Structure 1
């Protein structure tokens, strides 16, 4: 049974929740635009995938290596909200996850956080996300949420570990390292990430 059909069975008013979720994402996009974020990459193009994390295209298009972190957000939010509010319909929990992810996208694109990324991580030229990238990040979180709602727990955990290891190997960054470097930057990690 496809994930959406499975979730619809578990949450009777799924279309209503999806409509509210889409509205929340649209509001987040408007807030990001009002904050001065670029709608798309200033290069004027839209790319499906950007693999170079050291280019000005990173965090400006639909997907990049950090997309894996947003899928993991969906896994985590599903698990946390299942533990905290399992009696609530899945649709309501999905709205909670969208709210959290949208709030993070807005907070992540404040000058304070952008500056923190530049100071504490190897993202020296980071200028924040385009609105397209932020909206895509939220949608990839929704994809992760749907996957976690349908897949066995062990598979979700294994996939999260694979995503973390893959991103760590390819770009020397992942969700875990990102959190560590934002909250308590370590020179040894920064040196390793910079290839030193």
Structure 2
């Protein structure tokens, strides 16, 4: 095989996995639509950024305070696939990351997880993401994954820590606290988070 043929073969391989990633995202959108999720915010318009955490617009628009968590998902999935798929093409590893992220987005917007959030966290008015917000969560995961694939490990780690500290300071929530309160709720944390609105 010539160098040109190898390049063309590699490009076809990358294209295949990127199309597969897009197919996963489309499947996520269709699944959520069939689950009865609203396409966009019920307010009837789309915002680039929703900054109010305790509002009906949270998790309904393109980006919000939970967007950094999804970028960190991308960092983590890059690290995971680097460990378990060493030597495999980046595009194939991204496909696995998309499968995990889209699977979580579907599960997160199912009644069992929505009710869990409402029972164990301060998100009493949480009724799930809009399809737009959920799809963008997956897109931001891809952004994080691709960033981590290019950036030095230390830079990625520093950004992840910054995101966690900054969102924790701004809204008293972040990826770490979100997972903790979903899996093993701590009443002291819930009380501290509730004080944000006070």
- So what's the TM-score if we normalise by structure 2? 0.92
In structure 2, distance between residues paired with 1:18 and 1:169: 36
Does residue 146 (structure 1) correspond to residue 146 (structure 2)? The answer is yes
What is the SS of the residue equivalent to 2:55? Answer: coil
The residue that corresponds to 2:53 in the other structure is 53
The residue that corresponds to 1:3 in the other structure is none
The residue that corresponds to 1:133 in the other structure is 133
The residue that corresponds to 1:4 in the other structure is none
In structure 1, distance between residues paired with 2:166 and 2:31: 33
The residue that corresponds to 2:24 in the other structure is 24
Moved over 3 A (4+): none
Q: More displaced, 12-21 or 177-186?
A: 12-21
In structure 2, distance between residues paired with 1:54 and 1:142: 27
Alignment of 1:103-142 (within 5 A): 103-142=103-142
In structure 2, distance between residues paired with 1:19 and 1:166: 35
In structure 2, distance between residues paired with 1:138 and 1:33: 16
CA displacement at 1:16 relative to structure 2: 2.2
Deviation track 1:122-168 (CA, whole Å, cap 9, x = no partner) reads 00000000000000000000000000000000000000000000100
Deviation track 1:70-93 (CA, whole Å, cap 9, x = no partner) reads 000000000011011112111100
Alignment of 1:1-196 (within 5 A): 12=11, 13-195=13-195
In structure 2, distance between residues paired with 1:86 and 1:108: 29
RMSD after superposition: 1.2
- So what's the TM-score if we normalise by structure 1? 0.93
CA displacement at 1:172 relative to structure 2: 0.2
In structure 1, distance between residues paired with 2:84 and 2:144: 18
In structure 2, distance between residues paired with 1:113 and 1:125: 13
CA displacement at 1:19 relative to structure 2: 1.4
What is the SS of the residue equivalent to 1:194? Answer: helix
Q: More displaced, 15-24 or 122-131?
A: 15-24
Q: Gaps spanning 5+ residues in structure 1: where?
A: 1-7
In structure 2, distance between residues paired with 1:147 and 1:26: 23
In structure 2, distance between residues paired with 1:48 and 1:23: 24
What is the SS of the residue equivalent to 2:88? Answer: coil
CA displacement at 1:14 relative to structure 2: 2.3
